[in-house]
Structure 1
């Protein structure tokens, strides 16, 4: 499809790409990933000063009123450098819940700190038994003395280790897989009764398993309405899928271009690898898969930003395509580089691992294909 960024959006994209080029060499990324807290606090503060943390929030909330289009521009550039800072977790996911459901009091108390980088969010929604179904929730919030008692376990909580506040999906009524009866609660990450197990993920990021045992939550911690949190959760999941897909498109571009450059330089039988027709065809297929993803990303993002009725179905199609194409491009990039493609010293393998993780977040390709066909 035909798509062009506005002048302001292009300036944003250019500034993010400069930031990534200056700060995210492979060596710099590995060093950050291996140290605590797994990203650069200085980079996070720079993002706040540049206004990127304020990007998706309304002007009345202290933000810049950006849409999914601006987030796409930023995340695609982040994907080119495999940026480690928790923008997706804190701003797109956690911030996405707050901007859609938080009360004026909740926003006034927390959003300024999220925007200036002094507070971080984590959305604790996934559970071990749930697979990819957002409505499958057994973590329970039982009404008690004007508030709630929270019990349960949340899995693969992104940014759980450094978040100052957790947004927890909990069941206040209904059966295990009912979309009604899910309530979103804002919880202090240091509240009594919370236990956290942190671990590195295969792509160099961090996640946590968080246990809530008799955690006391006040009634004013409810985001939105009691039992009506699923609609907010679904909308945030859609935004996260768009952001992840944009990141994946950025990563695919790097893999494709690195592979073309390598085959032009690598000699075999007295010729560059790029001269062999079978390898030319392989790289054309990589390029076509990348372009299809990019085109569908633009369509899904524009439909979502414009409130189109077909947006949900297009998002399912996009996530399926990103999973399939990302794996295809990454596998071929590794194969055309040979064994060195998966070494830690070459960035190809790092992008491969990130694309594999993106495929599994918020539902893999097969899951979204079933949703698309339903």
Structure 2
């Protein structure tokens, strides 16, 4: 398989890297995270002006028409930069679901404003007792004289504190899974905001007969959007792994102990060689998943297999990098410590390694 990027994909990657090179170091990144929204409004506006927020959407919707490789390319560049801009929750997860499940009117209403950086949407998917699947979704959508209303609770809604609209996954009276758009300021919506492990922001939602607007397509569109988000997570983890590996390798060449660089010790070299192998195998896994154009079941299996592998080995690399740096690796003074926290979040987002592996097994039994 040819992993080389074409000219347009290289330009897309370089656009992200140039943006990050001008704006990011450990201190600046922490400053962005201290914003109540967990990112810089100025930085988001700058990205919007470049048109980058439109990269995954179809051209007829005003996007660039980017596919799986473009998604991986952008997310890997963001991961290498340890960027805080909420492209994953707003563009990939919420925007991707609107593109797949929304009506033409809903797409026209929401996507241009999102890609212009003017409004934000957030996917409300997780529930306390549902783990990562859809089988035990308890949030209910019902009809009354005023229209559709949704009741239930959602947890860890990434981007919830600054969202203008929530895309809520709920069970309809028929038992089917549906997607419902609920305004953040609608009656019946209560929100508890908090920080997650990497410093970004999320919310828990308590919905009590909140007025909602149904998106036409339901579970199939949701599963496709979630698989695309998993692929984006894999891309970002791959970028984080590359940054962590390169930074650790540089540190090992300069940190002296017992009169020589610690990178000269054979045991350390073996550990780094193992991590390099895992990094390259992760790259192969994610591009294999991107190249899967079979049915939805086969693609879902490939994506879950890739995420199970990459999540496990990204954690191993990040933990080892912190240990090799010593005490300073646990602090936020270095990007290593900040990147480690991002890996912790992404490795379990939408499914940890065990759950993804179980899903892979279930989807390949046919």
Normalised TM-score (structure 1): 0.93
- Confirm or deny: 8 A CA contact 1:173 1:182 kept in the other structure: no
Give the SS at the match of 1:130.
Answer: coil
Count of residue correspondences: 362
- Confirm or deny: 8 A CA contact 2:26 2:332 kept in the other structure: no
In structure 2, how many angstroms separate the alpha carbons of the residues matched to 1:283 and 1:291? 12
In structure 2, the residue matched to 1:194 is: 189
Give the SS at the match of 1:105.
Answer: helix
In structure 1, the residue matched to 2:98 is: 98
Give the Å deviation of 1:134.
Answer: 2.8
In structure 1, how many angstroms separate the alpha carbons of the residues matched to 2:358 and 2:102? 32
Give the SS at the match of 1:368.
Answer: helix
Q: How does 1:35-114 map to 2 (within 5 A)?
A: 35-114=35-114
In structure 1, the residue matched to 2:122 is: 122
Picking from 178, 185, 203, the partner of 2:198 is 203
Give the Å deviation of 1:146.
Answer: 6.0
Give the Å deviation of 1:308.
Answer: 7.6
Structure 2: segments with no counterpart, 5+ residues: none
- Confirm or deny: 8 A CA contact 1:89 1:122 kept in the other structure: yes
Picking from 160, 176, 180, the partner of 1:181 is 176
In structure 2, the residue matched to 1:373 is: 361
- Confirm or deny: 8 A CA contact 1:264 1:273 kept in the other structure: yes
2:225 pairs with 1:236: yes
- Confirm or deny: 8 A CA contact 1:135 1:230 kept in the other structure: no
In structure 1, the residue matched to 2:282 is: 293
Give the SS at the match of 1:110.
Answer: helix
Give the SS at the match of 2:179.
Answer: strand
In structure 2, how many angstroms separate the alpha carbons of the residues matched to 1:315 and 1:326? 16
Give the Å deviation of 1:108.
Answer: 1.8
- Confirm or deny: 8 A CA contact 2:332 2:338 kept in the other structure: yes
Give the Å deviation of 1:36.
Answer: 2.1
Mean Cα deviation higher: 339-348 or 307-316: 307-316
Normalised TM-score (structure 2): 0.95
Describe the superposition over 1:117-161 as per-residue Cα deviations: whole angstroms up to 9, x where unpaired.
111110101101011113421111111126212111110001111
- Confirm or deny: 8 A CA contact 2:224 2:296 kept in the other structure: no
Give the Å deviation of 1:18.
Answer: 1.0
In structure 1, the residue matched to 2:143 is: 143
In structure 2, the residue matched to 1:247 is: 236
Give the SS at the match of 1:129.
Answer: coil
In structure 1, how many angstroms separate the alpha carbons of the residues matched to 2:270 and 2:122? 43
Give the Å deviation of 1:72.
Answer: 1.0
2:221 pairs with 1:223: no
Give the Å deviation of 1:302.
Answer: 2.2
2:248 pairs with 1:256: no
In structure 1, how many angstroms separate the alpha carbons of the residues matched to 2:91 and 2:24? 20
- Confirm or deny: 8 A CA contact 2:308 2:354 kept in the other structure: yes
- Confirm or deny: 8 A CA contact 1:38 1:206 kept in the other structure: yes
Give the SS at the match of 2:11.
Answer: helix
Give the Å deviation of 1:173.
Answer: 2.6
In structure 2, how many angstroms separate the alpha carbons of the residues matched to 1:131 and 1:320? 16
Give the Å deviation of 1:351.
Answer: 1.2
Give the Å deviation of 1:280.
Answer: 0.5
Describe the superposition over 1:331-366 as per-residue Cα deviations: whole angstroms up to 9, x where unpaired.
110111112110121221211111111111111001
In structure 2, how many angstroms separate the alpha carbons of the residues matched to 1:369 and 1:104? 36
RMSD, aligned α-carbons: 1.5
- Confirm or deny: 8 A CA contact 1:134 1:234 kept in the other structure: no
In structure 2, the residue matched to 1:177 is: none
Give the Å deviation of 1:324.
Answer: 1.1
Give the SS at the match of 1:263.
Answer: helix
Give the Å deviation of 1:309.
Answer: 6.2
- Confirm or deny: 8 A CA contact 1:197 1:208 kept in the other structure: yes
Give the Å deviation of 1:372.
Answer: 1.9
- Confirm or deny: 8 A CA contact 1:165 1:186 kept in the other structure: yes
In structure 1, how many angstroms separate the alpha carbons of the residues matched to 2:356 and 2:18? 34
In structure 2, how many angstroms separate the alpha carbons of the residues matched to 1:320 and 1:71? 19
In structure 2, the residue matched to 1:268 is: 257
Give the SS at the match of 2:64.
Answer: coil
In structure 2, how many angstroms separate the alpha carbons of the residues matched to 1:198 and 1:75? 25
